[in-house]
Structure 1
Amino acid sequence: MSRFVCAILAGAAIAGAITQAAAADLTVPYVAPIIEQIAVPGGWYLRGDIGIGIERGRFKENEFDKPPAGYRGRWIRQSIDDGASFGIGIGYQFNPWLRGDLTAEYRTAVTVRGIGQQTGSFNNINGTAYANMSGSLSSTVILANAYADLGTYWGITPYVGGGLGMAYNRMTGFTQTNTIPSPNGPVPVLAKYNDAGTASFAWALHAGASYDISDRLKLDLSYRYLDFGSASTGALYGLDNAGGKPKFGDKYRSTDLSSNDFRLGFRYLLGGPTAAAPMPMPVIAKN
């Protein structure tokens, strides 16, 4: 065999090897992009809360805040007890960082007390009269709330939020026990205020954290500042010696009710986790 023929055969062998390698490359299967779906909590949820409130209020009464000419009035003491609250609500988780809910709560009756003093002429003598007021204040509050969740760390999600709504504040059972000077010594006089309710604007600020007990159930611990508006009794009336009930224009009222609330609650996700927008991953080709 000549050198020329050997060269031709060697070239053919090399060309065949190259062709087979190219064909092998064309048979590598195409691998589609891997799509990973990130599960985030979403959808509707139910909530329930209980709380303790440190309540505040500045109460007023014309006998002591705006006494008639010739008289001087002042408050000696005012107080309002701490109370409890019980609430329910329904909400929606829009995305991992934004949610909102509508809540309704009942704030249990707390005792309000006040002692006032008025100086002037009573029963034709000058002296000082004292009045002791007491009764109950209860409230129903409805709020529309929005919250910003600030990320989840080891199952704990801190958040802040705010709410706007309405409060219905009811003052009941209020009495005024007076001690009035007379020539024969102090005379006790009992008067009563009619029960009354007041609808008022309410707003709240929230700060707290939730803990993932499961995919659907969350434990919620929070602080809330609640301004629940104003409240007032009905008109004051007394009892005279003839058995009548003379009516006066005075009312016992407050225009700045507020509370520092510490709350424990649970949120239950109705729909379970939902999928966020798909996130493409790099294409990986394998032999």
Structure 2
Amino acid sequence: MRSVKTFLAAGAVSLLSSAAFAADLGVAPAPYYAPPPAQDFGGWYLRGDIGMTNSFTKLHDNLYDTLPAGTSLQQLGQGFSGGTLWGIGAGYQFNSWLRADITGEYRSRVSFSGSDYSIYPNGGGALSDVYSGGYTSWVGLVNVYADLGTWWCLTPFIGAGIGGAHIQTSGLQDSGFTSYGAQSSYFASGASTTNFAWAAHAGVAYKVTNNFTVELAYRYLDMGTAVHGQGIFYDGTPTGVSTFQFRDITSQDLKIGVRWTCCDLPPPPPPIIRKG
């Protein structure tokens, strides 16, 4: 038992003498690095978008509601040409799955064309109409997105947005032809209106670098109803404010966007804590 105590005492003396010798030589003990602080995943970003638009609507005229009883009316081939959009915005990434942004965009003019065919009762004959017009618009939205996980740098996402749409119609031309060979023409001037707008988003994002992301996205956009201004017949007779409307304009948009995380700073280096 005495030999064990003697051995432990000798070991302790040896360790103390080694530490003292190292201190005499100026040899510092190995540094200890504290674990890095937890990083905030969030960050501000700027974004830009370009895309293609494909609008849908139904031409509405109050005169359709006052046709004689028994009139057969068919609306044929109505629709818009495609257009383009350019948008900018700013947003914030709250965490790995939630972000939000505010966007504004200009949507180029799209042309409207369509026709209808009416058959009147009691031998009243038939009337066909051919329409042409169009509109431009500005749209502003507040959007929220859910990122659904990342695989091979690809992050699918869904989202929704609400805001407003300012729509400016161009003049609408209505050319009519009767079964008796008579012709008539009507013109309505353009007008502007601002409506509530909402959108649904879906797409996939690719993180090129830590601060730069590219998106490919689909968006369904509802912009409300567009109106027209003063109307006039081909003979110069004014008719007051036109009853022609583009009811419930919707658009299916395909967009390419970029996001630049502009304001993130790298985390500070971990502090060095020296022992002894």
Q: Counterpart of 1:104 in structure 2: which amino acid?
A: G
Q: Is the 8 A contact 2:82 2:110 kept in 1?
A: yes
Match of 1:281 in 2: none
Match of 1:225 in 2: 220
The match for 1:126 among 103, 124, 127 is 124
TM-score if structure 1 supplies the norm length?
A: 0.78
- In structure 2, what is the Cα distance between the partners aligned to 1:25 and 1:162? 69
Structure 1 residues 104 and 15, CA gap change in structure 2 (3 angstroms): closer
CA shift for structure 1 position 200: 1.1
Q: Is the 8 A contact 2:191 2:227 kept in 1?
A: yes
- Give the share of equivalent positions with the same residue, in percent: 32
Match of 2:243 in 1: 251
Q: Is 1:164 the equivalent of 2:162?
A: yes
Q: Is 1:175 the equivalent of 2:170?
A: no
Q: Which has the larger radius of gyration?
A: 1
- In structure 2, what is the Cα distance between the partners aligned to 1:17 and 1:209? 69
- In structure 1, what is the Cα distance between the partners aligned to 2:267 and 2:245? 52
Match of 2:147 in 1: 149
- In structure 2, what is the Cα distance between the partners aligned to 1:15 and 1:68? 113
- In structure 1, what is the Cα distance between the partners aligned to 2:228 and 2:30? 80
Q: Counterpart of 1:208 in structure 2: which amino acid?
A: G
Q: Is the 8 A contact 1:235 1:251 kept in 2?
A: no
CA shift for structure 1 position 177: 0.7
Structure 1 residues 250 and 26, CA gap change in structure 2 (3 angstroms): same
CA shift for structure 1 position 71: 6.6
CA shift for structure 1 position 248: 5.2
Q: Is the 8 A contact 1:40 1:275 kept in 2?
A: no
Deviations 1:232-287 (A, max 9, x none): 212432132xxx333156422133211221110111111135659x9xxxxxxx9x
Match of 1:187 in 2: 182
Aligned length: 262
CA shift for structure 1 position 140: 0.9
Q: Is the 8 A contact 2:136 2:168 kept in 1?
A: yes
The match for 1:263 among 236, 252, 255 is 255
SS of structure 2 residue aligned to 1:126 = coil
- In structure 2, what is the Cα distance between the partners aligned to 1:148 and 1:79? 33
Q: Is the 8 A contact 2:228 2:242 kept in 1?
A: no
Q: Is 1:82 the equivalent of 2:85?
A: no
CA shift for structure 1 position 61: 1.6
Structure 1 residues 67 and 235, CA gap change in structure 2 (3 angstroms): farther
Match of 1:238 in 2: 233
Deviations 1:185-218 (A, max 9, x none): 4122221012111211111111112212222211
Q: Is the 8 A contact 2:41 2:96 kept in 1?
A: yes
Structure 1 residues 24 and 210, CA gap change in structure 2 (3 angstroms): farther
Matches within 5 A, 1:32-51: 34-37=34-37, 42-51=42-51
Q: Is 1:205 the equivalent of 2:200?
A: yes
Q: Counterpart of 1:187 in structure 2: which amino acid?
A: A
Match of 2:25 in 1: none
CA shift for structure 1 position 33: 7.0
Q: Is the 8 A contact 1:40 1:273 kept in 2?
A: no
Structure 2 segments unaligned to the other structure (5+ residues): 21-28
- In structure 2, what is the Cα distance between the partners aligned to 1:15 and 1:248? 110
Structure 1 residues 33 and 247, CA gap change in structure 2 (3 angstroms): same
SS of structure 1 residue aligned to 2:209 = coil
Q: Is the 8 A contact 1:143 1:164 kept in 2?
A: yes
Match of 1:62 in 2: 62
- In structure 2, what is the Cα distance between the partners aligned to 1:148 and 1:91? 13
Greater Cα shift, 257-266 or 36-45: 36-45
Q: Counterpart of 1:163 in structure 2: which amino acid?
A: G
